[in-house]
Amino acid sequence: MIQQLSIGLADARIAVAAALNGARANETPLAVAVVDGHGQMVYLVRRDGAAAIDVRAAERKAYTAAYIGRDTSMWRLQITHDGRTVADWANPNLTTIHGGWTLRRAGQVIGGIGVSGSGNEDRDEQLALKGAEAAAQLAVDAWRQTRDPRRIRDRSEVRA
Amino acid sequence: MFQQISLGLAEAERARDAILAALTAADSPIALAIADEHGVPILLMRQDGAPARMLSRARSKAYTAANLGLDTVVFRDQHVKAKQRTLDDWGDPMLTTLQGGLAIKTNARVVGGIALSGNSTIRDEALAKVGLEAMGLAE
């Protein structure tokens, strides 16, 4: 038997909110998706005015980041370097459009986040990163809670 | 030119919160889909432990309700079963006759669809109704 970690709804909602709140008020509305480690949707929000294609693109970016285990921009660099195309994976849900980040915890892929709608794939990527960072911060917070603060303060653990 | 009315994220989030508040310990984890009048998702949500297929079903139900302007159970009973048709007659692979999708209407216009999956289809529809009412749209 194996135990697999997966992002839950509570963390997914925090990540989506962080990506949405990262955008300035004068930017175009976004769609943001968070999927689990298998690439299956956990939470998606489309802001008023974001287009249908943004829902599709956000979902595909998040799916790719989780399924491949690479951020979509990094994956494009890698397959371009290797002389391959997305079609080599024979999976129509994959994309190399920037804006998908892999979410990890304890060395495992626990999900992916995808953003679309800013009108620029690199801006989408920046905004998705804000969501990914919020998810990573949750991991740090959870880890801190498992530690006894006194032991960390006197560093007895480190010396031992 | 004409102006189209569409459901907004604010209504979708009100529905989400009302549905989450209405869940009991007897309910299985749910998947929720809320779509605009074209059936395009505004909000998708899958609770921890709900299988992925629950959200694909909820999406199809919300799409069907929004696209046809019919609750999925009405579509099933009056448009498919009563006329001895099958879903193939519509030629749209996203359509479903599963109960639990409700058309969202205001001022006699279809503005979206809301659907749940995860429990019995009757309970799915009851929870979708909770969300629909929380949107507070005019008849």
Neighbours of B49 (CB within 10 A): 13
- Is ipTM > 0.85 here? yes
Contact B70, B79 (CB under 8 A): yes
- Domain A9-146: CATH class, spelled out: alpha beta
- Any chain B CB within 8 A of the CB of A63? no
Nearest-neighbour CA in chain A from B13: distance (Å): 9
**Pick the residue with more confidence: A3 or A27?**
A27
Q: Residue ranges of the domains in chain A?
A: 9-146
Residue B84 belongs to what domain range?
A: 9-134
Per the listing, tokens 């370097």 go with A81
DSSP A69: S
> What is the CATH number for B47?
3.30.450.150
Per the listing, tokens 């299956």 go with A40
Among A residues 1-40, those touching chain B with beta carbons less than 8 Å apart: 8-9, 33, 36, 38, 40
Residue B47's SS3 state is: coil
pLDDT at residue A160 greater than cutoff 50 = no
Averaged over A87-104, what is the pLDDT?
Answer: 97
Q: Within a domain: residue B110?
A: yes
**HSE-CB for B113 with a 13 A CA cutoff:** 29
Name, in order, each residue with C-beta under 8 angstroms of A160's C-beta and a sequence gap of 6 or more: none
Contact A61, A90 (CB under 8 A): no
pLDDT at A2: 87
A52–B9 CB contact, under 8 Å: no
Q: Within a domain: residue B139?
A: no
B44–A9 CB contact, under 8 Å: no
Count the domains in chain B.
1
Q: Within a domain: residue B14?
A: yes
* Average pLDDT along chain A: 92
Nearest by Cα to B120 from B46, B27, B48:
B27
pLDDT at residue A152 greater than cutoff 50 = yes
- Any chain B CB within 8 A of the CB of A52? yes
> How confident is the model over A52-77, as pLDDT tens digits?
999 999 999 999 999 999 999 999 99
> How confident is the model over B3-53, as pLDDT tens digits?
888 999 999 999 999 999 999 999 999 999 999 999 999 999 999 999 999
A43–B45 CB contact, under 8 Å: yes
- Any chain B CB within 8 A of the CB of A75? no
Maximum distance among all Cα pairs of chain B, rounded to whole angstroms: 50
Residues A27 and A118: their CA atoms lie apart, in Å, by 7
